[in-house]
Amino acid sequence: MAVCNAPQLTAMCSTFNGLHTEKAASGCATNVQSSAFLGTRLAHMKQTSMLARANQAESGRFASYAPPRAQSVAAPAETKKSEASKKTSTQSTVIITGASSGLGLATAQALARTGEWHVIMACRDFLKAERAAKSAGMPKGSYTVMHLDLASLESVKQFVDNFRRSGRPLDVLVCNAAVYFPTEKQPRFSAEGIELSVATNHLGHFYLARLLLEDLQHKKTDTNRRLIIVGSITGNTNTLAGNIPPKANLGDLRGLAGGLNGVQSSAMIDGGEFDGAKAYKDSKVCNMLTMQEFHRRYHKQTGITFASLYPGCIATTGLFREHIPLFRTLFPPFQKYITKGYVSEEESGKRLAQVVSDPKMTKSGVYWSWNNDSNSFENQLSEEASDADKALKLWEISEKLLELD
């Protein structure tokens, strides 16, 4: 088991102090060297695709590919169909990915509580999500759990099919789920052999959002449709938090263009050496660039509001589950009592719920943040996270990888 040494703790403290003093006020970051956060698997939908072929040509790690679990858990979503359909005319529908814990669950809870929203909890672990909804006191009928594994493109496709079968008109899609592998020395790969952080956090959501864009354009209700992709301060190098090494940097995206498979290409987007913490930060830059590219391409034409946000540092969530135990113990009190940058899961859920439903937050192309008084403001993205040329290139490469063009 990894041990947190003195320099690491010092670095962690300076990181937290830095976060507290930055513009977003309730900032959060971790020292990349001492923490590794995210990781997941993403499976490709087309077995004959370029990626699948490349993977099949590969050895060992692809042999352990297990089919996505969507088939086995699709039924429970269907059993709630008739109950859900009854409420369709009175409630708006929001899909939240990764609603089984943390920010996603708190947001689902906040929206379900209003009685005005039906929440589709799009989760990879059906039972965990069902239990989480119950323990959060979400009223029966206010939610439906549907299986989604963002690390499998086949699962993403099946999720979209299942959702369409429910007959609900979609009002808001929240791309929230993420994985973080801060201490990982070697990359993990999705079923198609794509580095897991980017496969889950960016490509799985990119595919999901591309498919559901059509559903957001229905004419059945006149609600303000929104597509929200959760960002992070850690991907923004115009902040103190974002300046803690390793900094996010997509470079010229050569690694992504090569498929992030760690064989023919690097597992990192910029083509460099694998670093789990940087892979997470890079994926969050992708999230923020993707939101803006959606805005440029589709806002005028569709009226859909595209937004991103930094919800604050939610030090208690499962995002840090792969971090060393000492970090997980110290991080919440450090944020709470030293930096005062701590944001509770409940508060973060209210913030994201605002972006979902507040009539004052319909402006498209915005990256929202909150100050210490929990007032929202339009925050500035870093130079890279607002680079329109890079956003276009990212879009095109992602399309090519997913064979969407």
Query: 217 vs 249, which CB is nearer to ligand NAP?
Result: 249
Rg (C-alpha) for the chain, rounded Å, is 20
Q: Residue 93 pairs with which residues in a beta bridge?
A: 118
Query: 314 vs 324, which CB is nearer to ligand NAP?
Result: 314
CB atoms within 10 A of CB 297: 15
Match 């529908």 to its residue by tokens: 93
CA angle 47, 204, 305 (to 5 degrees): 135
Q: How far is the CB of 187 from ligand NAP (least distance, A)?
A: 15
Query: 133 vs 148, which CB is nearer to ligand NAP?
Result: 148
Q: How far is the CB of 344 from ligand NAP (least distance, A)?
A: 11
Query: 230 vs 401, which CB is nearer to ligand NAP?
Result: 230
Q: How far is the CB of 82 from ligand NAP (least distance, A)?
A: 26
Q: What share of the chain is helix, strand, coil (3-state, %, to 5)?
A: 45, 10, 40
Q: How far is the CB of 90 from ligand NAP (least distance, A)?
A: 28
Q: Is 278 exposed, middle or buried (0-12, 13-18, 19+ CB in 10 A)?
A: buried
Which residues, in sequence order, are CB contacts of 381 under 8 Å at separation 6+? 236, 238, 288, 292, 367
Q: How far is the CB of 26 from ligand NAP (least distance, A)?
A: 10
Measuring CA to CA, how many Å separate 51 from each of 41, 56, 159, 256, 318? 14, 8, 21, 12, 30
Beta sheet of 366-370, edge-to-edge order:
143-147, 117-123, 92-97, 172-175, 226-230, 305-309, 366-370, 376-378
Query: 151 vs 307, which CB is nearer to ligand NAP?
Result: 151
Interface positions with ligand NAP (CB under 6 A) = 28, 40, 97-98, 100-104, 123-125, 128, 148-151, 176-179, 200, 230, 232, 284, 310-311, 313-314, 317-319
Query: 52 vs 174, which CB is nearer to ligand NAP?
Result: 174
Q: Is 223 exposed, middle or buried (0-12, 13-18, 19+ CB in 10 A)?
A: middle
Q: How far is the CB of 220 from ligand NAP (least distance, A)?
A: 27
Query: 271 vs 381, which CB is nearer to ligand NAP?
Result: 381
CA distance 232 to 345: 15
DSSP-assigned letter for residue 318:
G
**Of residues 158, 159, 154, 91, the one with CA closest to residue 121:** 159
Q: Which helix (H) or strand (E) holds 93?
A: strand 92-97
Q: How far is the CB of 29 from ligand NAP (least distance, A)?
A: 9
Query: 223 vs 344, which CB is nearer to ligand NAP?
Result: 344
Q: How far is the CB of 231 from ligand NAP (least distance, A)?
A: 7
Q: How far is the CB of 273 from ligand NAP (least distance, A)?
A: 22
Query: 271 vs 341, which CB is nearer to ligand NAP?
Result: 341
Query: 8 vs 236, which CB is nearer to ligand NAP?
Result: 236
CA distance 265 to 287: 22
Which residues, in sequence order, are CB contacts of 77 under 8 Å at separation 6+? 144, 145, 146, 147, 162, 166
The residue nearest ligand NAP at its CB is: 102
Q: How far is the CB of 262 from ligand NAP (least distance, A)?
A: 19
3-class SS of residue 92: strand
8 A C-beta contact, residue 96 and residue 120:
yes
